[in-house]
């Protein structure tokens, strides 16, 4: 039991976000805020919507605008279609902003300037607004006008240079990690700005670049270059600074071995029936094992191939040596741990059919989570949002729709 009452509402209840962003980084930020209780209104182009609605297959059966990609980052939002390029749409956009706490946008720099939606212009008109701008390379520097795509950012940020097998071409990460990381940094910055606004009373402009976030996320490997001056080589499935900490072949499969300290090294050697290796003074410390990687790794490879994966799991578990079997999504989503952590959510589509979604990893005791809701159909809440926030009745919304504004 907690030593205080559980809040009746989610943590971000009362915070309203206008998400004028598409594809992944901005929408992922918006979904994180929605998962914490914010009212997130997704602004989309009339007739087209977010590009990812059509990035399939797979799609939810019967819905051409609900791709798996779109589902992954648009849970818990309301969709409003609005053309902000014209005067009518621009006026409605600003009226909506006046009712919102946060704007998340990924306008191109030239588009923002043309529309009068630069951070300075937004804050001049909406002085309490948290304006979070997401772009490939940020609002400053020689690349500020360049388009930013995750794959290109992985290449330009150095991430691909350290990813992949030791021989052969560099590899990208298997998911659009620069976008995801930027969405995480963005939600973190938005929460900090909201906290600061409660103290100062004024708004803030946040400038986030995919390239900056991808570089910052390379943490110890990038820092190793700055500290030592040596360009790190690709390690494949090994670790640059810990040995043995990599993927190994067993007698019948693959297993990740995570020997993170010297005690675990001795415990591994004992579990492998090679106590003499653990007692060898040449390999006693991690620094020695890193420096003698070419000697240590072949010894471990030889040992690992002697036993099956199942036998290694038993021995390493008994010895408290961290390890993991490489699993597929089929394995992951039937694991009791996944269910225990609510990492698979089930919602209903507009026809009432069940749809599974990937869950949010944040577990906050003391405040409820909002009930998960299906990512919205294109423009499904346009009339409701315009009536609720701006007082526009059905006839006014129909007139806007007839003119192509919404």
Q: Which residues fall within 8 angstroms of residue 248, CB to CB, at 6 or more apart?
A: 254, 255, 256, 257, 300, 301, 304
> Tens digit of pLDDT for each residue in 42-99?
999 999 999 999 999 999 999 999 999 999 999 999 999 999 999 999 999 999 999 9
pTM: 0.91
Q: Is residue 185 part of a domain?
A: yes
On whether both 102 and 210 belong to a single domain, the answer is yes
Query: What's the pLDDT at 374?
Result: 94
On whether both 257 and 365 belong to a single domain, the answer is no
On whether both 49 and 182 belong to a single domain, the answer is yes
Name the band, by pLDDT with cuts 50, 70 and 90, for residue 6.
Answer: confident
> Tens digit of pLDDT for each residue in 349-393?
999 999 999 999 998 888 888 889 999 999 999 999 999 999 999
CA distances from 52 to 57, 180, 296, 301 (A): 11, 15, 47, 43
Of the residues 326, 349, 382, which one is the last residue of a structural domain?
326
The total of structural domains in the chain comes to: 2
Q: Give the integer Cα–Cα distance in Å for 41 and 47.
A: 17
On whether both 257 and 283 belong to a single domain, the answer is yes
On whether both 291 and 388 belong to a single domain, the answer is no
On whether both 308 and 356 belong to a single domain, the answer is no
Q: Give the integer Cα–Cα distance in Å for 93 and 115.
A: 11
Asked if the model's pLDDT at residue 287 lies above 90, the reply is: yes
Active-site amino acid positions: 179
On whether both 66 and 159 belong to a single domain, the answer is yes
Query: What's the pLDDT at 1?
Result: 60
Q: What is the CATH number of the domain that holds 296?
A: 3.30.1540.10
Query: What's the pLDDT at 265?
Result: 98
Name the band, by pLDDT with cuts 50, 70 and 90, for residue 299.
Answer: very high
Q: What is the CATH number of the domain that holds 353?
A: 3.40.50.10540
Q: Is residue 226 part of a domain?
A: no
Of the residues 299, 326, 353, which one is the last residue of a structural domain?
326
> What is the pLDDT averaged over residues 245-267?
96
On whether both 104 and 145 belong to a single domain, the answer is yes
- Measured distance between the N- and C-terminal CA atoms of the chain, rounded to whole angstroms: 49
Share of the chain above pLDDT 90, in %: 89
The sheet that has 254-258: what strands, in order across it? 245-249, 254-258, 323-325
Q: Is residue 249 part of a domain?
A: yes
Q: What is the mean pLDDT of the chain?
A: 95
Domain hosting residue 279, numbered range: 245-326
Q: Is residue 20 part of a domain?
A: yes
Return the closest-CA partner of residue 42 out of 89, 103, 101, 85. 103
Asked if the model's pLDDT at residue 200 lies above 70, the reply is: yes
Query: What's the pLDDT at 92?
Result: 97
On whether both 264 and 310 belong to a single domain, the answer is yes
């Amino acid at each position: 039991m907690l030593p205080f009452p559980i809040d009746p509402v989610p943590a971000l209840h009362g915070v309203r976000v206008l998400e004028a962003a598409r594809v992944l980084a901005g929408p992922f930020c918006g979904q994180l805020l929605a998962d914490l209780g914010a009212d997130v209104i997704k602004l989309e182009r009339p007739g087209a919507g977010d590009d990812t609605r059509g990035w399939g297959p797979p799609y939810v059966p019967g819905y051409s605008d609900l791709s798996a990609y779109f589902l992954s980052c648009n849970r818990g939002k309301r969709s409003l279609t609005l053309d902000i390029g014209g005067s009518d749409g621009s006026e409605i956009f600003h009226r909506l902003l006046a009712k919102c706490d946060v704007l998340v946008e990924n306008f191109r720099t030239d588009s923002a300037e043309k529309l009068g939606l630069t951070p300075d212009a937004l804050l001049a008109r909406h002085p309490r607004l948290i304006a979070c701008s997401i772009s490939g390379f940020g609002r400053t520097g020689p690349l500020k006008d360049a388009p930013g795509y995750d794959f290109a950012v992985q290449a330009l940020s150095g991430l691909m240079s350290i990813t992949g097998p030791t021989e052969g071409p560099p590899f990208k990460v298997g998911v659009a990690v620069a976008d995801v990381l930027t969405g995480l940094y963005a939600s973190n910055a938005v929460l900090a700005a909201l906290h600061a606004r409660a103290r100062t009373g004024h708004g803030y402009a946040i400038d986030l670049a995919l390239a900056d976030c991808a570089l910052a996320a390379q943490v110890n490997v990038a820092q190793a270059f700055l500290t030592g001056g040596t360009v790190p080589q690709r390690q494949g499935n090994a670790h640059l600074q810990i040995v043995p900490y990599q993927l190994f072949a067993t007698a019948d499969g693959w297993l990740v071995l995570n020997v993170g300290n010297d005690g675990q090294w001795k415990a591994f050697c004992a579990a492998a029936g090679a106590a003499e290796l653990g007692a060898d003074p040449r390999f006693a410390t991690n620094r020695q094992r890193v420096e003698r990687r070419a000697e240590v790794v072949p010894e471990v490879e030889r040992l690992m191939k002697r036993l099956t994966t199942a036998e290694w799991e038993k021995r390493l578990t008994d010895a408290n040596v961290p390890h993991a079997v490489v699993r597929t999504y089929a394995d992951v989503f039937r694991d009791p741990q996944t269910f225990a952590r609510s990492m698979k959510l089930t919602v209903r589509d507009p026809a009432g059919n069940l749809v599974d979604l990937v869950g949010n990893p944040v577990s906050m005791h003391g405040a409820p989570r909002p009930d998960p809701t299906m990512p919205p159909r294109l423009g499904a809440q346009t009339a409701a949002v315009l009536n609720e926030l701006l007082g526009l009745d059905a006839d006014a919304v129909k007139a806007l729709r007839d003119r192509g504004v919404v």
